[in-house]
Amino acid sequence: MERTFAVVQWIEGVDSGKFSDVKTDAIRNYDDSKMDQDGSPISPYSAFIEWRHGKRRKGGWPHYKGDVLFVSANRFENTSKLNSLLEEVERPQLTKRVSVAPQNIGTIQTIPLILRLSQRKLRPLLALQGSPPSTSGSGPTPDKSPSSRVSTATSASPTPSQTVSQSSKVEIHPGTGVMIDKLAWAYALNSNSATVFVRHLLTAVFPLEILMVSNLRGTNRSGGDPRLPLDKNKLDAIYSATLERFPGTPLSSIGSAVNAKITELRSKSKTSTPHSQTY
């Protein structure tokens, strides 16, 4: 059976270092003989790949160099491989967070934010990689407010039953009740900027049909249908999750990213041109 799907990692371009799910026909001069029967490269395989994002440009899609990491004859296997790669990206970071011991407030201020998130935030991340590492220790009880999570050390290491969720969804920010699929959360965590993070969360939190008739705050349009405001609780959850993941992000930048993504979706709905997904 012809292997028409591939997972690649970009070496060049704006998505350098990120993973994409593409068709093998987007890989210039794709050579299936360079891949073994399990879909992995026999030796490192780099090629120029079409970067199919947005509207197709005049003259064709731009090409950037990337590594071909996996090929498959069906989308399910390709998505599973992509998911496992994203989990591997997160694993070193999670190990650091679990091993942090309680320290005084002065020392805590110098620890990177990723090591100071509350245990509730840690729970869905650990669920992405399976059974969490076993550690011991004790510390302050995490607070639900963002400011408390920034200045409080992680509490005692939880048991597997506390950290591994049996559900297929995770809460994007503690206490909000806003849930998304684990895979969508993994894609969002792989973002290298607040803008990309917001765009991933927006499409995971809101159904497409809602985004097509809404914008950030809602507007009345002369000569057209009014735009509905997005659900405030869900928006607040996206803002909180973004500020926790990327501290110091201006609120206006988050709002701009929301409206820009909605505008992009409306534009794409007017054309049937396919494009790859990058994470």
| Domain residue ranges in the chain | 5-73, 90-166, 182-272
pLDDT digits (tens, 9 = 90+) for 170-222: 999 999 999 999 999 999 999 999 999 999 999 999 998 888 888 777 776 66
- Judged against a pLDDT cut of 60, whether residue 120 lies above it is answered with no
Query: Which residues, at least 6 apart from 5, have a Cβ–Cβ distance to it below 8 Å?
Result: 21, 22, 23, 24, 71, 72, 73, 74, 75, 77, 78
Distance of alpha carbon 29 from alpha carbon 50, whole angstroms: 11
Comparing 19 with 122, which gets the higher pLDDT? 19
- Chain Cα centroid distance, residue 127: 15
Q: What is the second-level CATH architecture of the domain 182-272?
A: Orthogonal Bundle (1.10)
Query: Which residues, at least 6 apart from 15, have a Cβ–Cβ distance to it below 8 Å?
Result: 51, 64, 278
Amino acid at 36: D
Distance of alpha carbon 150 from alpha carbon 116, whole angstroms: 6
Query: Which residues, at least 6 apart from 85, have a Cβ–Cβ distance to it below 8 Å?
Result: 7, 9, 19, 69
The model's confidence at residue 59, banded by pLDDT at 50, 70 and 90, is: confident
Residues 210 and 198: beta-carbon distance below 8 Å: no
